[in-house]
Amino acid sequence: AQKVTQAQTEISVVEKEDVTLDCVYETRDTTYYLFWYKQPPSGELVFLIRRNSFDEQNEISGRYSWNFQKSTSSFNFTITASQVVDSAVYFCALVLSGGYQKVTFGIGTKLQVIP
C-alpha cells in the first residue's frame, strides 16, 4: 500500500522568507505520479505540480520550486520570498499508474506567512 508523509503540520514564516515543505512517500510500484496541491481557506484544492517517477528533474515556476529525489523518496516544495497570499494548507499526493489511479494524500502542511 502507498503512503504519503508530511511531517510538518504547521509552519510559520515572516513574509519574504524562503520556506520548504517536506514530503516523503512510500510505494513499491516503479511507475507513479506525485503532486502538490494548495488549499486556501476557501476550501478548493488547487493543482500546483505533477511529476512522474521517471522524471527526476527539478522544476521551478516563479517563486515555487520542487525537488524530487527517488533515492530518498522525497518530493519537497520550496517557496522563495514568501507572501501573505501563500498562506494555505499544502498537500502532497501520490497516484499509482494504471488501474483506477486512486490518489493518496498526505495530511497537509499549514503554512502561515506573517506580514
Partner 1 sequence: EAEVAQSPRYKITEKSQAVAFWCDPISGHATLYWYRQILGQGPELLVQFQDESVVDDSQLPKDRFSAERLKGVDSTLKIQPAELGDSAMYLCASSLYPTSGSGSYNEQFFGPGTRLTVL
62 interacts with partner 1 by CB under 8 A = no
113 contacts 84 by C-beta, under 8 angstroms: yes
107 interacts with partner 1 by CB under 8 A = yes
28, 41, 42, 115: residue in contact with partner 1 (rule CB under 8 A): 42
Decide whether 80 or 104 has the Cβ nearer to partner 1.
104
At residue 46, the 3 state secondary structure works out as: strand
User: What CA–CA distance (Å, rounded) separates 72 from 70?
Assistant: 5
C-alpha cell at 37: 496541491
60 interacts with partner 1 by CB under 8 A = no
User: What CA–CA distance (Å, rounded) separates 52 from 56?
Assistant: 8
Helix (H) or strand (E) holding 18: none
28 interacts with partner 1 by CB under 8 A = no
Decide whether 17 or 52 has the Cβ nearer to partner 1.
52
Instruction: By CB under 8 A, name the binding residues for partner 1.
Output: 4, 9, 31, 33, 42-45, 47, 50, 52, 54, 91, 93, 95, 97-103, 105-108
